[in-house]
Amino acid sequence: MRKADRIFGVIGLGIALWSFLESRKFHYMAQFTPGPGFFPFWVAVTLGLLSAYLLFNTFKRKPSATDHKKILPEAHMLLRVAAILGLLALATGLMKLLGFPLTLALFTAAVLSFLERYSLVKSIAYGIAYAAVTWFIFEYMMTMGFPKGFLGI
Amino acid sequence: MEVLVNLASGFVTCLSPYNILMAALGAFLGTMVGILPGLGPSATMAIILPITFGMDPTPAMIMLTSLYLGAMYGGSTTSILVNVPGEASSVCTAIEGYQLARQGKAGTALGLSAIGSFFAGIFGMFALAFTASTLAEFSLKFGPAEVFCLVLMGMFTIIYVGGKDITKSLMSMVIGLGLGTVGTDMVEGQARFTYGVSELLDGIDFVILVMGTFGIAEVLESAEEFMKVEPMRVKFRELMPSLTEVWQCRWATLRGTLVGFCICCIPGSGPTIASFLSYGLEQTVSKHPEKFGTGVIESVAATESANNAAVCGAMVPMFSLGIPGSGATAVLLGGLILYGLKPGPLLFVEHPDFVWGVIASMFIGNVILIVMNLPMVPLFASLLRISYSLVYPAILVVCIVGAYAVASGLFEVGMMLVFAVIGYFMKKGDVPAAPMLMALIMGPMMEKNLYQALNLAHGDLSIFIRRPIAATLLGVIVVMSVVVMSKRVRKARGTVQEVEQ
């Protein structure tokens, strides 16, 4: 956890610095009240102090049992997570082009087929079933107005 | 007496067929969520929340509260039958319950946990009605200065009571406050941190953050590797504990209920803390503490009662003060805002039908849950045989729908994915996401009240000390901070001495 704390400390310092610089673009005080820059300024200062403390503590504290704990899972697990996120991002990007039901069907089929090793037929069947149920509930019954693709659905 | 009259009117509201149906649906979904490991009640409520947008607030909230209660009921099933707690609050149940199951007493453990949960739920509902309405009446006296101090105190309590690592919890909270500043500023109407993105002018939507950091992040973590579970088989006739066993657990159930409700009235302490405290208390009062860990039936009754009473306890600060006591109540509070209701004491004055209807629905929810859970445990347990690989794509699909529903745009879906990545790494680094979520809700509230208080006082900061309630609340924050810091200093000194030796 020591390594994770260091990473979070550095990221926190970065966000604090960015927030501090941004807060200076706004007035710190209005006539009687705090201005738009007041809250971001104090957020930056507090986050900076906390991040510095977290970072400093990683050098000073006694090693604990959790320090040896691995932060990230094995490479293959991380790859699975990345693949799921990648497919989600791809689905979001393709939604306007393909339309909502087709994108969801393809997304589900891709997850089941590539990541879960289901047969292609089963994956497509599940994909169609999930998309149909979702479309029926949210578009047909609740008229949520999902993007329509080139197929008109 | 007035409370009872209000509660009766609440029953009239919630006893409509549609509201009962919503309670049943919530209870069913909650039980499934509690049983299936991998998705907690906060995440599920967050995922369901956008879908309830078009609904009337009362049935929507009835469904969500029943879901929360159902998750607590369902959590015991997996803990006892598979030794895999569906919820963090069911860990203690797993310790003793699984041992009982191995001794052939799975049915008894499940039955007693359901009966304990039912008793705790009903007691908690009445306690919530009396406590929340009294507290709300008192807090009607609060002006902006008091509300600012109250929100500040709520945030510190959440960190000090609930946070494992105070520094990381504070960091998470401050980041949440920072996220709350995104959007149009209320003083000068300037756009802060929007960088020309029009979708950000209204601020970061709470639902997007919660679905990303709770919903998808939780799914990603569970999807890293799948667990194959093989639940023990239980027959219906084994599910009813004997009267002797119920009588044997009466005090444990009562103790668990009281601990769960009282502890969770304090913001920051959720059902998990309540169940652990209750387990510890049982061990302390037991004549045979050495038997703990080998299957003590009283402990199962106590911990399950505690985590169900905790659900009602956590709703006290939410309904009466507008402060979320836990991640799950933060989602419920976010729901109130989304439905156009103003959380806080005025809710009891402006929307009594809603508040009392939701409180009364917890009774209905508990009745549905005990009827559903006792005979249907074997069926629910068989759900564990469904592969998670088929469940998580469906959850992700619902998340996409939910994020899209927020503003009918794909920008929100993309933002949810960004928060999902952040949430995943926060989980890996043991940085809790709940304080960030609560701060996103409470930050703008805090900023608005600070602005109003100082405006009324013409910029005089002493308003926070001159007003007795505000000063008392600030005093509580100072005392809490001193206690926590002195503990840390003592601990640090101890470590230094150890190193020197």
- In chain B, what percentage of residues exceed pLDDT 70? 91
pLDDT tier, B30 (very low <50, low <70, confident <90, very high otherwise): confident
Average the pLDDT over B76-91 and give the result: 73
Chain A environment of B216 (Cβ under 8 Å): 88
CA distances (Å), origin B355, targets A151, B62, B320: 46, 10, 10
pLDDT value for B456 = 87
Q: Any idea what DSSP says for residue B238?
A: G
CB pair distance less than 8 Å for A46 and B174: yes
Give the distance from residue B162's alpha carbon to the nearest chain A alpha carbon, in angstroms.
18
Domain limits, chain A = 2-68, 75-141
Is the pLDDT score of A128 beyond 90? yes
B115-160 pLDDT, tens digit per residue, is: 888 999 999 999 998 888 888 888 878 888 988 998 888 888 777 7
Q: Residue B224 is nearest to which of A15, A73, A108, comparing CB atoms? A: A73
- CA–CA distance, A139 with B469 (Å, rounded to integer): 50
CB pair distance less than 8 Å for A84 and B429: no
Q: Any idea what DSSP says for residue A62?
A: P
Is the pLDDT score of A114 beyond 70? yes
Question: Mutate which of B25, B391, B401, B454 to test chain A, going by most A C-beta atoms within 10 A?
Answer: B401
CB pair distance less than 8 Å for B417 and A92: yes
CB pair distance less than 8 Å for B54 and A142: yes
Q: What mean pLDDT, rounded, does chain B reach? A: 83
Give buried/exposed letters for B12-32 (b at 16+ CB in 10 A, else e): ebbeeeebbebbbbbbbbbbb
Q: Is the separation of the CB atoms in B300 and B99 below 8 Å?
A: no
Return residues 9-68 of A near B (CB < 8 Å): 12, 15, 19, 22, 26-27, 30-36, 39-40, 43-44, 46-47, 50-51, 53-54, 57, 61-62, 66
User: Which of B156, B46, B444, B248 is closest to A40 using CA atoms?
Assistant: B444
Counted across chains A and B, CB pairs separated by less than 8 A come out at: 161
**Sequence-distant (≥ 6) Cβ neighbours of residue B217 within 8 angstroms:** B419, B420, B422, B423, B424, B426, B427, B433
Q: Is the separation of the CB atoms in B98 and B294 below 8 Å?
A: no
The sign of the dihedral angle between the CA atoms of B310, B312, B313, B317 is positive
List the structure tokens of B161. 């009571």
**Sequence-distant (≥ 6) Cβ neighbours of residue A7 within 8 angstroms:** B429
CA distances (Å), origin B194, targets A120, B171, B182, B325, B368: 44, 22, 7, 30, 46
pLDDT value for B500 = 66
Give the distance from residue B238's alpha carbon to the nearest chain A alpha carbon, in angstroms.
37
| Lowest-pLDDT range of A79-93, A102-116, B91-105 | B91-105
pLDDT value for B162 = 59
Q: Any idea what DSSP says for residue B232?
A: P
pLDDT tier, B346 (very low <50, low <70, confident <90, very high otherwise): confident
- CA–CA distance, B211 with B219 (Å, rounded to integer): 10
CB pair distance less than 8 Å for B178 and A36: no
**B433 inside 8 A of chain A by CB:** no
Return residues 35-64 of B near A (CB < 8 Å): 51, 54
B463-486 pLDDT, tens digit per residue, is: 898 999 899 989 988 988 888 888
Q: Residue A8 is nearest to which of B188, B421, B431, comparing CB atoms? A: B431
Give the distance from residue B324's alpha carbon to the nearest chain A alpha carbon, in angstroms.
21
Task: Say what the pTM is.
Answer: 0.80
pLDDT value for B341 = 85
- In chain B, what percentage of residues exceed pLDDT 90? 15
Is the pLDDT score of B442 beyond 90? no
Is the pLDDT score of A123 beyond 90? yes
Between A18 and B166, the more confident residue is A18
Q: Residue B495 is nearest to which of A62, A72, A147, comparing CB atoms? A: A62
Average the pLDDT over B176-180 and give the result: 93
Is the pLDDT score of B31 beyond 60? yes
Average the pLDDT over B389-401 and give the result: 83
Question: Mutate which of B55, B397, B413 to test chain A, going by most A C-beta atoms within 10 A?
Answer: B397
List the structure tokens of B442. 């409470």
Chain B environment of A80 (Cβ under 8 Å): 223-224
pLDDT tier, B243 (very low <50, low <70, confident <90, very high otherwise): confident
pLDDT value for B86 = 61
**Mode of pairing for the β-strands spanning B183-184 and B191-192:** antiparallel
Chain B environment of A51 (Cβ under 8 Å): 171
* Complex prediction ipTM: 0.91
Average the pLDDT over B165-192 and give the result: 89
Domain limits, chain B = 2-223+239-466
Q: What residues does B192 pair with on adjacent strands?
A: B183
Question: Mutate which of A54, A81, A124, A133 to test chain B, going by most B C-beta atoms within 10 A?
Answer: A81
pLDDT value for B177 = 93
pLDDT tier, A20 (very low <50, low <70, confident <90, very high otherwise): very high
Q: Residue A33 is nearest to which of B171, B420, B459, comparing CB atoms? A: B459
Return residues 153-192 of B near A (CB < 8 Å): 167-168, 170-171, 174-175, 177-178, 180-181, 185, 187-188, 190, 192
pLDDT value for A19 = 93
Chain A environment of B389 (Cβ under 8 Å): 112, 115-116, 118
pLDDT tier, B340 (very low <50, low <70, confident <90, very high otherwise): confident
Chain A environment of B481 (Cβ under 8 Å): none
pLDDT tier, B227 (very low <50, low <70, confident <90, very high otherwise): low
Q: Residue A43 is nearest to which of B174, B224, B457, comparing CB atoms? A: B174
A28-57 pLDDT, tens digit per residue, is: 888 778 888 999 999 999 999 999 999 998
Q: Hunting for tokens 């969770």 — which residue is that?
A: B264
Q: Any idea what DSSP says for residue B213?
A: I
Q: Is the separation of the CB atoms in B86 and B271 below 8 Å?
A: no
Between A17 and B276, the more confident residue is A17
Give how far the C-alpha of residue A67 lies from the chain's centroid of Cα atoms, to the nearest Å.
Answer: 26
pLDDT value for A95 = 87
**A119 inside 8 A of chain B by CB:** no
Chain A environment of B228 (Cβ under 8 Å): none
CB pair distance less than 8 Å for B405 and A144: yes
List the structure tokens of A6. 């260091």
The C-alpha R_g of chain A, in whole angstroms, comes to 24
pLDDT tier, A85 (very low <50, low <70, confident <90, very high otherwise): very high
CB pair distance less than 8 Å for A36 and B431: no
Average the pLDDT over A99-103 and give the result: 89
Average the pLDDT over B101-108 and give the result: 80
